[in-house]
Every structure is written in C-alpha cells, then in structure tokens.
Amino acid sequence: MITIKSAREIETMALAGRILADALTLVASRVQPGVSTAELDRVAEEFIRSYPGARPSFKGLYDFPASLCTSINSEIVHGIPCEKRVLKDGDIISIDCGVYLEGLHADSAITKAVGAVTEEVQRLLQVTQKALEAGIKTALVGNHVGDIGHAVQQIAEGAGCSVVRELVGHGIGASFHEEPQVPNYGKPKRGPRLTPGMTLAIEPMVTTGGPEIRTLDDKWTVVTADGSLSAHFEHTVVIQPDGPRILTQVPAAAPA
C-alpha cells in the first residue's frame, strides 16, 4: 500500500534527511587511502546518534550488522563495513545510509572517489549523478513511477552504461521499504501515478559493464556479474504540487 505523508511527517523526514546529509558529508570527508570501511561506519553511527532520538536505520534492519553499506568498485550495494577492508588510491566507494527519527526513515547514498581515479571512473560518477537528477526532475504530480525510471535509463544507457534492473528504489516512511517500487528503467506513463505526499527513495545503480548481478557468500554484498565498476547515488524525495522536494540534502547557503 502506498502511504501519503502528512505535513508533520514530511517535516520529520526532512529533519532525519538533514541529519543524514550531514552524516554523509562527514563520512565523505574521511574517505582516503588507508581508511577502513569499519572506521567510516563508526564515524557515521556516532554522528547520527549524537542527535537525540536519531538512530541508524540500517543497523539491525533485516539483521544487517552495520550503520552504513560500504560497497567498493564492482560492489553495487550492501557491502558490510570491515576492519580489513581498507581503501586504496583509485578505488570508488558507494556509501549508503539511513536515519530513523520519531518513527520515520530517510535514505540516501553517494559514491566517492578514493584519491586519484581514471577518467572512466569520473565519467561513471557524473553519469550516475545526472541520472539521479533526471529521475528527480521527473517526479512530478500526475506523472508515473515509470517516468522516473525512464528518465534514469535514458541518461545511463545514453552514456553507454547499464542500469541494474534487479535492484530498485522504493517508497519510504514509517517502514524503510514501502510501496511503490521505483525501478531505474521503464516506460513513461506506466506504474503508479505520483500524488502529493508520496515519499520515494530514488536510487540509480549504474555500471560500466552489463546489468547482471550476483550476491557474494556473505549473503549481503551484491556485485556486478562481469566485474565492472558500479556507482550508486540516492535521495529521498517528497512529491509536491510545486515540484519534488529533496529531503536528504544539505540546504543551500543563504545569499550573502
């Protein structure tokens, strides 16, 4: 069932989203060669819990053991932080996180370069970010979920990349995963119609190779089947009459 959020619920999710955006900004600042993914996880959890009533959404969700998902290079999502996973120059790391506050969740992800990376890697990150932006711009009242997926797909595949089809975005609110599913591909005017108060986690997962995936023996980490690189960017968005509002970004600074 798709849930429509009240004005109060939206503002609570916006506060959770602000905490989350600040947490990801802090974690991103710690990404450098020699840092373990476990250290990044500790930074995120400590920061989130410093806000009264806030806690990491992921820790314990479906028995996941950490506050962050840290996925390196060919890992698409759900990488488990570990002391032995130490970042190296030239890596990319996708950092996915959620914040739970006053009964509601927010969800966001970024992919960060570690040190110097190739032009191919820089292009993958740019394409994935543009795909997310395109999806969000299409999240308009009267449009459909298929319009979002179509916009993402056009950007990614138009750049010669692939979108992962077996993993999707989702509704979000009192439950971390709510209806509707939000695929990163599709046809315009298909799927549920977007109405004010719907809250969606839009999250392109884009690869430099094919779209096929497999899951590692840890039962969590999802990787590209062909070993190609993958990037992941995500925002939680609310559908509004005057256009989509992103709930998981640091507000722009006021003009001087």
State the CATH architecture for 7-246. Alpha-Beta Complex (3.90)
pTM (2 d.p.): 0.96
Nearest 5°: phi and psi at 107?
-140, 135
Read off the pLDDT of residues 189-248 as tens digits, 9 standing for 90 and up. 999 999 999 999 999 999 999 999 999 999 999 999 999 999 999 999 999 999 999 999
What ranges do the domains of the chain cover?
Answer: 7-246
Q: What b/e string do you get for 161-172 counting C-beta neighbours within 10 Å, with b at 16 or more?
A: bbbbbebbbbbb
243, with CB counted inside 10 A (0-12, 13-18, 19+), is exposed
Read off the pLDDT of residues 114-132 as tens digits, 9 standing for 90 and up. 999 999 999 999 999 999 9
